Structure 1
Amino acid sequence: MRARVNGQPRRVPMIAAGAAIAAALLAPLPAAAAVSRDDTPSGYTRYVRARAADAAGRTELAARGYAAVLAETPDDSVLALRTYRQAIAAGDRPLATRTARMLDARKLLPADGRLLLLADALLAADWKAATLATDRIEQEGVYGFAVPVLRGWIAQGSRKGDPFVALDAARSGGPIAMAYAAEHRALIALATGRIDEGVAAVKALSTGGGGRAVRLQLAAASALAKRGDRAGALAMIAGNDGTLTAARKIVTDGRPLPGGVDGPAEGIAALLTRTAVDINRERVTPVSLTLARLATFLAPGNAENWLVTSEILSAGEQYESALAALEQVKPGDPFEEAARFSRVQLLVRRGEPEKALGEALAMARAGNTADDWVRVGQVQTELERHAEAADSYGKALALADKAGATGDRWALLLQRGSALDRSGNWPAARFLLEEAVRIAPDQASALNYLGYAQLERRINLPEAEKLIERASRLRPDDAAITDSLGWTYYLRGDVPKAIATLEAAVSSEPAEPTINEHLGDAYWTIGRRLEARYAWRAALVFAEAKDAPRIRSKIDTGWSPAVAAP
């Protein structure tokens, strides 16, 4: 089955292409090639090994290797820049700072390196150097949107000038600068003892929920708890979010609540983390990792900084470093559960799903919450143990119903229904999927799953078309849903409309095998045989093992009902 969960078809995990090459390069080289006459590896050999470690995601080893070669060839600016980036990825602040200063002296320092020098000044409470670094940031312009916030926190820390006047400069900096300044006006108010003003601002900014709201709520609750206002702190962190629930227990127990923003280091770290998240939302870049790492340098006790860093490292397939970042989240922190969940996901991505499942089951048996069993079900799905996943989602659904948590009930129904579908129990699956659509008629993922599951079985096609058309209206830019819509038109006999729709889906997701196979079938139907084979070849690149023989057969001998896409 290839029906979608959350609007997306299942994809084959991509393995880093350079892993085998990197492993070979990291292995000991033959003596004649690897070492000089005094048995000391040559600079070239050390560089090759550093590049191999880099390719294998062993960031700390790569950073040390680059640094060793750079020490012998300090005039190599390209190597200096590579060393700087690798030191950031490895979280090696001393090495990153040394290479940043080296690059700065040659006028080759990247714009984000200026933020590293600012962080170094802040940690030394060198307000003059911090001000000079901020001046340079403003002159270079790349991070000009952040300058009002930087100046505000420097004024707060140095006690020279009015931090709120500094923030007013954001009014001429555009909507991004104003949005960041609004958050930090609240945080600076909290840090300067204007608690009521800060709390009111946080409440106004937190209406939409989400990670940004949780971060601000924790900061406000921490300030209130320090003032002795336990009731106010608890009210500030009300809600069903797991992090907020953990925070309330900390406050109730009378323990110090992490997440406070007490001065420039924590404040600017919060700015950098928010910026890293915003950049990473578009695509993973070295800049987003740099900003997240700088936040951990400035505020190593803030768990969110480590979570964001881990997420970015994981997206770059640097799994060892990502796991190491999660280990910095301390037991008892409000984000502890989020870190444990991230660890399970990382183990799956690293190719250790059985280990991930063991850890997820241990957590679920200890905590026995709906979220715990959802996590178990997700890992079981990765392992294609769909009947077991259905049971786990069933436990999650029962626990959520018992707790009266009805807001996301449709999502649990969808997850259990999809697991039952994949386990071969379509009647039970259909009942749950229809219930999910009934209680959440505007959730595109539920509409699309139910519609596509019926397309696969070639049943109830008019109703399936209505469901998928509604999903497409809700999410017109979702390639998976656009593919479902095109496949609907194909099965309903409108092949020209199907091809136009499927071509649009392929342009959005050119590597997606299901979409390419559908498009190939549609091309063949109207006699465009060459284009059909081209689409099928594209589908074969990332096809699942069970689908590859069918696609190869079409490429070799053409389409027939026996090899039609499901």
Structure 2
Amino acid sequence: MKIRLSVPRLRPAVLALALLPAMIACAGKEDGSGTARADSSTGNATATSTAEPQWTLAGALLAGRLAFNEGDDVMAAKLLGLAREAAPGDQMLATSTLSALVGSGNFAEAAKLAAEIKQQGAKTQLIGYVELVDRAKADDWKGAKTALDSISDDGVGRIAKPFIAAWIELGATGKLDAAVAALGPLSEFNGLGSVVTQHTALMEDHLGRTQQALDRMKGAADAGAASARFIELYIEFLRRAGDKGSAAAFLDLFRSANAGIAGAIADPLADRLGQPVEKGPIIQKPVEGLAEAFFDLGSILQSENAGDQAKVFARMALELDPQLDIARMLLGNIMQQRERCPDAIDMYRTIPESSIFRWSAEISVADCQQKLEDTNGAIATLEGLVKARPGRTEAVVELGDLYRREKRFADAVKAYDIAIGTIKEPKADDWSLFYSRGVAHERNKEWDKAEPDFKKALELSPDQPYVLNYLAYTWVERRENLDEALKMLNNAVEQRPEEGFIVDSLGWAYFQLGDFEKAVTYLERAVELQPTDPVLNDHLGDAYWRVGRKNEARFQWHRSLSFKPEADQIGLIQEKLKSGLGAVKPDAAVPSGG
């Protein structure tokens, strides 16, 4: 039986680091923010070439710009730096080099370059940001204020400047009212309320107004604030106040929902409740608060698909506070989205094993390993995660999906068994687990176990098109429940008319039931939707043969072979090319109402 694995990848989203999108129309992308392709990366090619000091200006410039556009900041900084030696006065080249230096984490060289090109009259907002970070690190708040003043109030500056100004004000004067007033302009932006509350509470706590800060955070929590960083900070406020009961209750909200990164950090945060309480405020020095501001700005920019700017701000957050692990998560996420998987893995694994974010980081590492086709590495990573946290489903579901793609169906079933075993009362969203296990059972030739899983998935999510498609398709192949199967397939096609494999299922059902003309109609549409799928082309060839269009049938079978079908189908298609199809099975008949 030929089954298309119409199983969407349903791993939970574990990288929801940011706040709700702020809908900031002014936060546009920088040049070179297009999505990079893994197979066009300059990483390997330029790494070898740059060992030979034979770059021409044009060569270094072109290769450097390519590396910059693909997010390879280390290589871009090196090559653009070489190009600058030949064109030191080129301000556009200097700006790109500065951005690459910051993006690569080479802040010391970035600070030197920023000072140099400022003297040359370069005009870029990045100079001001680099300067203020450099001055803040030196506890020179007056210098940081001067640098901030050089940054435009337009674009990203409309949001960035109030956050940064508040912490500079606190560092310079120690006055809460002035610092809070600096945040005032942010009130005009929807979606930033919880972030402003969070920063205000951190400043209050820093100045000893801890109860006031806790009350403020509690109000935000009651209003639904739930970013990963907010959760971590609120639990820390409650822990220091000795209110372990409220902290545990708050964490239960996310643990029970199993909600991505929020759920993943719930257990380690609960463990933290039993540890000795540190003395002093959460933010020990204003520079750490400034790091929080840069991280939140990076999160906001990432949510607005301004990844290059988000990366720069995340790097500055880490420069100000190297212990801010969530900024490393953000950077890894940005690298992963740009398909810089080796860089992302390196970044994720700079997060200490003791960090509450390390488990979530390793989930992302496994995802990167799969994209790099390092299947054994991904399995090892996921198996380690399952062993470490058997009560969480993200890793074990990911492991089951990976086993299924590798056709290790018995292993996939075991993984899904673990995930389903953690569910006390299945909810609507759990349909995908039963569906995935059903597919694994079916592919492992265990229909007696697969069918109940598909029915359970439909019980949890009635009319779910993927389940309707798979269950009904299999029923048709088995000559069971034909009337119901056709109704289910028509339902699935009505919901997903743009998905070729679902349209194909309906066409193939009509073929199996002997209605070849109707089969051709649907199978032609399916191939139009997914023209390079080997199974769909093979099915259309079969239908053409049955209606007497034999030359077209052979053409479709040839196409199917060109698209690399599964190994067990190649010989069957080759035999059809040689001899065509045999006689129609006598039991092929359209069911009533078909």
TM-score (norm: length of structure 2): 0.70
Matching residue of 1:383:
406
CA distance in 1, matches of 2:549, 2:153: 57
Pick one of 169, 184, 187 that aligns with 2:185: 169
State the SS of the aligned residue for 2:319.
helix
Matching residue of 1:3:
5
Pick one of 153, 158, 170 that aligns with 1:139: 153
Q: Show CA shifts across 1:191-216 (max 9, x none).
A: 3132112221123123xxxxx53331
- Alpha-carbon shift at residue 336 of structure 1 (Å): 1.8
CA distance in 1, matches of 2:272, 2:404: 34
Matched, 1:74 2:96: no
Matched, 1:417 2:438: yes
- Alpha-carbon shift at residue 344 of structure 1 (Å): 2.0
Q: Show CA shifts across 1:86-129 (max 9, x none).
A: 334422223344455566655553x6676555544544444445
- Alpha-carbon shift at residue 358 of structure 1 (Å): 2.3
State the SS of the aligned residue for 2:191.
helix
CA distance in 2, matches of 1:80, 1:527: 68
Matching residue of 2:420:
397
Matching residue of 1:209:
none
Pick one of 351, 355, 365 that aligns with 1:329: 351
Matching residue of 2:196:
184
Q: How do 1:204-353 and structure 2 match up within 5 A?
A: 204-206=223-225, 212-238=226-252, 239-240=254-255, 241-254=263-276, 264-280=289-305, 285-353=307-375
Pick one of 55, 74, 86 that aligns with 2:100: 86
Letter in 2 for 1:5: V
Letter in 1 for 2:201: A
Letter in 2 for 1:197: R
Q: Show CA shifts across 1:18-38 (max 9, x none).
A: 36x8645544699xxx567xx
Matched, 1:488 2:502: no
Cα pair 2:520 2:540 within 8 Å, conserved: no
Matching residue of 1:201:
220
CA distance 1:298–1:465, shift in 2 (3 Å): farther
Cα pair 2:111 2:131 within 8 Å, conserved: yes
State the SS of the aligned residue for 1:141.
coil
State the SS of the aligned residue for 1:199.
helix
State the SS of the aligned residue for 2:97.
helix
Letter in 2 for 1:326: Y
Letter in 2 for 1:368: P
CA distance 1:426–1:83, shift in 2 (3 Å): farther
CA distance 1:78–1:190, shift in 2 (3 Å): closer
Structure 2: tracts of 5 or more residues without a match: 11-35, 206-212, 256-262, 511-516, 583-594
CA distance 1:122–1:417, shift in 2 (3 Å): farther
State the SS of the aligned residue for 1:139.
coil
CA distance in 2, matches of 1:524, 1:118: 70
Q: Which has the higher helix share?
A: 1
CA distance in 2, matches of 1:266, 1:115: 12
State the SS of the aligned residue for 2:223.
helix
Q: Show CA shifts across 1:111-168 (max 9, x none).
A: 6676555544544444445545555555332452444444444444444554444444
CA distance in 1, matches of 2:170, 2:531: 50
- Alpha-carbon shift at residue 232 of structure 1 (Å): 3.4
Pick one of 415, 434, 449 that aligns with 1:428: 449
State the SS of the aligned residue for 1:429.
helix
Letter in 2 for 1:3: L
Pick one of 389, 392, 397 that aligns with 1:374: 397
- Alpha-carbon shift at residue 181 of structure 1 (Å): 3.5
- Alpha-carbon shift at residue 542 of structure 1 (Å): 7.9
CA distance in 2, matches of 1:84, 1:515: 51
CA distance in 2, matches of 1:65, 1:551: 53
Cα pair 1:270 1:295 within 8 Å, conserved: yes
- Alpha-carbon shift at residue 314 of structure 1 (Å): 2.0
Cα pair 1:452 1:468 within 8 Å, conserved: yes
CA distance 1:271–1:542, shift in 2 (3 Å): farther
Q: Show CA shifts across 1:225-273 (max 9, x none).
A: 233433333333233112111210111234669x966753243134224
Cα pair 2:4 2:535 within 8 Å, conserved: no
- Alpha-carbon shift at residue 76 of structure 1 (Å): 3.5
Letter in 2 for 1:274: S
Letter in 1 for 2:7: V
CA distance in 2, matches of 1:411, 1:166: 47
Cα pair 1:250 1:256 within 8 Å, conserved: no
Matching residue of 2:462:
441
- Alpha-carbon shift at residue 319 of structure 1 (Å): 2.3
State the SS of the aligned residue for 1:232.
helix
CA distance 1:411–1:299, shift in 2 (3 Å): farther
The percent of aligned pairs where both chains have the same amino acid is: 20
Q: How do 1:346-365 and structure 2 match up within 5 A?
A: 346-365=368-387
State the SS of the aligned residue for 1:331.
coil
Equivalent pairs counted in the alignment come to 524
Q: Show CA shifts across 1:37-69 (max 9, x none).
A: xxxx76667668767977998653553343344
CA distance in 1, matches of 2:292, 2:112: 24
Letter in 2 for 1:205: G
CA distance in 1, matches of 2:146, 2:569: 60
Cα pair 2:534 2:565 within 8 Å, conserved: no
Matching residue of 2:77:
63
Q: Show CA shifts across 1:173-195 (max 9, x none).
A: xxxx2212333223422431321
Higher relative contact order (CA 8 A, sep 6+): 2
Q: Show CA shifts across 1:507-560 (max 9, x none).
A: xxx89858995998899899999x99999999999866659979999xxx9xx8
Matching residue of 2:24:
none
- Alpha-carbon shift at residue 330 of structure 1 (Å): 1.4
Cα pair 2:400 2:413 within 8 Å, conserved: yes
The worse-fitting range, judged by mean Cα deviation, of 321-330 and 270-279 is 270-279
CA distance in 1, matches of 2:335, 2:185: 34
CA distance in 2, matches of 1:511, 1:227: 62
Matched, 1:18 2:40: yes
CA distance in 1, matches of 2:313, 2:473: 41
CA distance in 2, matches of 1:100, 1:518: 61
Matching residue of 2:18:
none
Q: How do 1:147-166 and structure 2 match up within 5 A?
A: 147-158=161-172, 159-160=174-175, 161-166=177-182
Q: Show CA shifts across 1:269-322 (max 9, x none).
A: 342242144134xxx843343344344334432322212211221232322221
CA distance in 1, matches of 2:135, 2:542: 62
